[in-house]
Structure 1
């Protein structure tokens, strides 16, 4: 019987699972965790969180999501909703550790985007590691967790313009790092 119930859960849409979870169906919420756990941990890792801390923050985020599941209305995806919860949970941890103030200082010391891999084999996670902490966090919040610039600024307790600058610089560095070598060479010829 449990196998048949599991098959039923796997065939349900996230909104249906969330509705069941809101009525106390723990297995439905377990299916949501199974579907989206690695995505939440992946976002946190891209934000610069260690593997062990990403597991802890993801667990906290899913506990919060379970407690607040009735608030999920299906207006966006469940994945985006729980990723926002995880990003905010991580930001609260940062604020408690008083590390948020050091982001501006670290951004000034950040290395420039590294040279493009000659074989063209580079992945986003590696490229994100080349960003300064502030740039990585702002880009991850705005593009990985789906927060607006204003929401990221509020969460980080930074001015909106500072967040926008970090995002712009971070995206410029990522574009330069991830661009195919032939595109970079063509750009150099046009500008040089």
Structure 2
């Protein structure tokens, strides 16, 4: 069984920069799932997301000395992974629709899966800036300030993008499902 490193993220970054061969591996272990979730929601394509996460962590590994400690390590990683996603999206545009799923299993599973797919589809229809803000704030739980730092925009911009994005999502879901979505 692998022992969990007791150092906090900032200490691990400092140790990595100082040459500790295990420190960055611990950061990767701690944050890979969250970065994957951000990348998947940003790219809306598992292959692009996987490539972006890999690009992001390689970039973070190489640029660790540029981490100044102004923000949390997770905020810094979010910024790098989101930028890697945007780079990937600029190079390749996804051409496939959402995959079809066999939803005939259990009713509850069916309903939650349908809602999740409907939200994912609606997210793909709103402007990228709004989608990124909503993904970071509403889905990943970052504060407005952390999302602003990640996307390198003002906090007010994040707030307005989230508000416009939520309104657009509500409208798209209402159009699809009627007034039950508010």
Confirm whether residue 148 of structure 1 aligns to residue 148 of structure 2. Answer: yes
What is the deviation of 1:13? 0.6
SS at match of 1:47: helix
Q: 1:65–1:82: 8 Å Cα contact kept in structure 2?
A: yes
TM-score by length of 2: 0.63
Q: 2:134–2:165: 8 Å Cα contact kept in structure 1?
A: no
TM-score by length of 1: 0.60
Gaps of 5+ in 2: 94-107, 137-145
What is the deviation of 1:144? 3.9
Confirm whether residue 7 of structure 1 aligns to residue 8 of structure 2. Answer: no
Matched residues in 2 for 1:15 and 1:126: separation? 38
Encode CA deviations 1:116-143: one digit per residue, 9 max, x unaligned: xxx88576675243134453x3234324
SS at match of 2:68: coil
1:76 is aligned to 71
Change (3 A) 1:125 1:20: farther
- The equivalences for 1:13-28 within 5 A come to 13-28=8-23
Matched residues in 2 for 1:57 and 1:173: separation? 27
Matched residues in 1 for 2:121 and 2:129: separation? 13
Larger radius of gyration: 1
Change (3 A) 1:152 1:142: farther
- Return 138-147 or 11-20, whichever deviates more: 138-147
Matched residues in 1 for 2:10 and 2:117: separation? 30
Gaps of 5+ in 1: 100-118, 154-160, 179-183, 188-192
> CA RMSD of the aligned region, Å?
3.9
